[in-house]
């Protein structure tokens, strides 16, 4: 390919509608310092997959971007690669963030990169990495941010073997919560809070290699997934689940999630950070992306004081409130969370006191697995009843002499029970296991009617199994109590399932 064919004016080949032309992408790539070791060694970057072409374009790395001298790759974010660069005019190091090649080739992703610049430009807080300059125009959009010489929180935790003092962890998350509240007040949700997005700036002259956590000031960075409060869901839908699910709230994966508390997702992520700082692991883990999401919806984290018994109950309470599955049950704001953390650090009583037995019971009822538990119990219960009726019918037919009328009446009685109770409840139970809302509601109604009918039978208001038991009162009483208590348990489980499924967004039904 000739050098002339790389000029931005040649636009004969284009990528799909809505994106820049093929040659414009090549021109943009030609201005970038690609942070890939193979590219740095060979000077060759294969754009075949990106541009739907069989050609391989040879590109020369640019060691300078708009006057900033590129020194080294120091990290990468959701939409760009970050370099340490030198600003010769002001004699200082800066962090230069440049869109990834695939971002340059996708107009929607490029708008997201530009959105990060608009978001960070609105923020001026000591715990947020400031932006110095931005150029969002082609061929090479970039952001110039403050350079933080310390490690990020992920690197700090990976290099540490001893447990962190809990007060150090609480104080760091307090600073982060204050910064997040400031961003929320400016109408910005971060949506990707995780250890690698928390940079640690050494305070004074602290040695980064030997310093403790309290020797660093946290700085939030990477607002690539930031969402403006007034931004429409359609504009951010493609990026809703980009990021690390280990630190993302359950409702982020729900199209029907309520925006009643816009900052609730960030509060959940702050709770994840606090949990990991105190225990050395995220609250929810898994071997794959899908497994993590499933566990995020289904399971609650292990109680923090089971892992560190010496922690104050107040810290466990704060983590529990932050990690509530229901966004409305979390702290109303990041400022409220910061105040609670300060109270915990000072040994003062929390505003959100330790869970009462009522709150613990409600939390247990809200867990998603309660729906399937009700379905499986109901399925087994009515399969046993169905089998028992069939065995009883066979026993009478084979071993007990009866007249034709007596046998017919017993068969009709059994069929009525099967068709009006057991078979419908088996079908409802199967659909409850599949988490269908209508099945849970039907299960509540049917189990209530069945339990009420059993009570009416005991009181003599209705006749039940009159032909089966006839004068055998002992067996009649024993059967009643067994079925009655099993029916009461079924009714309770279905009501618990109703509470659980009522707290779930409609799109989580499967």
What is the spatial distance between Cα 184 and Cα 192, in angstroms, rounded to a whole number? 14
Q: Which of 41, 190, 45 is nearest to 104 (CA)?
A: 45
183: number of Cβ within 10 Å: 25
Q: Do 234 and 196 touch, CB atoms closer than 8 A?
A: no
- Helical segments of 300-436, H only: 304-307, 313-322, 334-345, 357-366, 369-399, 404-417, 423-433
Structure-block tokens of residue 301 = 């984290």
Q: In whole angstroms, how large is the CA radius of gyration of the chain?
A: 31
What is the spatial distance between Cα 209 and Cα 159, in angstroms, rounded to a whole number? 9
Tell me whether residue 192 is one of the annotated catalytic residues. yes
Q: Do 13 and 53 touch, CB atoms closer than 8 A?
A: yes
What is the spatial distance between Cα 433 and Cα 490, in angstroms, rounded to a whole number? 14
- The neighbouring-strand residues paired with 128 are 220
Structure-block tokens of residue 138 = 């082609």
CB-hemisphere CA count at 13 Å for 133?
Answer: 14
**Helix axis angle, 437-458 relative to 369-399, nearest 10°?**
50
Burial class (CB in 10 A: 0-12, 13-18, 19+), 432: buried
Say which of 23, 106, 152, 192 is annotated catalytic: 192
- Residues belonging to the active site: 192
């Amino acid at each position: 390919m000739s050098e002339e064919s790389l000029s931005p004016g040649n636009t004969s080949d284009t990528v799909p509608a809505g994106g820049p032309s093929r040659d414009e992408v090549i021109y943009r790539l030609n201005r970038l310092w690609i942070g890939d070791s193979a590219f740095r060694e060979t000077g060759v970057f294969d754009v075949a997959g990106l541009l739907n072409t069989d050609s391989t374009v040879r590109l020369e790395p640019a060691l300078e971007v708009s006057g900033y001298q590129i020194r080294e790759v120091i990290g990468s974010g959701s939409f760009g690669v970050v370099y340490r660069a030198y600003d010769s005019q002001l004699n200082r190091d800066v962090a230069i963030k440049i869109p990834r090649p695939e971002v340059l080739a996708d107009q929607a992703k490029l708008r997201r990169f530009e959105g990060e610049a608009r978001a960070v430009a609105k923020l001026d807080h000591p715990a947020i990495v400031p932006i110095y300059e931005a150029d969002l125009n082609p061929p090479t959009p970039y952001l110039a941010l403050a350079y933080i010489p310390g490690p990020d929180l992920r690197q700090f935790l990976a290099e540490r073997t001893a447990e962190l003092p809990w007060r150090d962890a609480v104080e760091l998350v307090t600073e982060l919560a204050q910064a997040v509240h400031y961003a929320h007040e400016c109408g910005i949700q971060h949506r990707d809070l995780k250890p690698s997005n928390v940079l640690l700036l050494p305070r004074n002259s602290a040695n980064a290699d030997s310093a403790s956590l309290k020797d660093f000031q946290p700085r939030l960075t990477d607002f690539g997934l930031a969402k403006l409060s007034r931004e429409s869901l359609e504009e951010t839908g493609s990026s809703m689940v980009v990021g690390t699910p280990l630190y993302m709230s359950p409702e982020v994966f729900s199209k029907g999630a309520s925006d009643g508390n816009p900052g609730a997702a960030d509060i959940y992520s702050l709770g994840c950070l606090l949990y990991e700082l105190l225990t050395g692991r995220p609250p929810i883990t898994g071997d794959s992306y899908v497994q993590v999401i499933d566990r995020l919806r289904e399971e609650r984290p292990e109680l923090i004081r089971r892992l560190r018994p010496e922690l104050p109950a107040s810290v466990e309470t704060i983590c529990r409130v932050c990690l509530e599955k229901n966004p409305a049950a979390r702290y109303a704001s990041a400022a409220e969370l910061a105040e609670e953390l300060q109270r915990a650090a000072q040994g003062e009583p929390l505003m959100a006191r330790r869970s009462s037995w009522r709150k613990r019971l409600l939390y247990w009822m809200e867990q998603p697995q309660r729906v399937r538990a009700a379905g499986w119990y109901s399925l087994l219960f009515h399969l046993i009843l169905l089998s028992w009726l069939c065995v009883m019918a066979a026993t009478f037919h084979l071993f007990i002499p009866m007249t034709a009328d007596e046998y017919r009446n017993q068969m009709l009685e059994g069929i009525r029970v099967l068709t009006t109770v057991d078979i419908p409840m088996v079908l409802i139970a199967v659909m409850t296991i599949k988490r269908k809302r209508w099945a849970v509601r039907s299960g509540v109604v049917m189990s209530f009617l069945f339990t009420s009918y059993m009570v009416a039978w005991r009181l003599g208001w209705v006749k039940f199994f009159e032909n089966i038991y006839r004068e055998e009162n002992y067996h009649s009483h024993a059967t009643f109590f067994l079925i009655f208590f099993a029916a009461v348990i079924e009714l309770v489980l279905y009501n618990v399932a109703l509470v659980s499924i009522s707290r779930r967004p409609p799109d989580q039904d499967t």
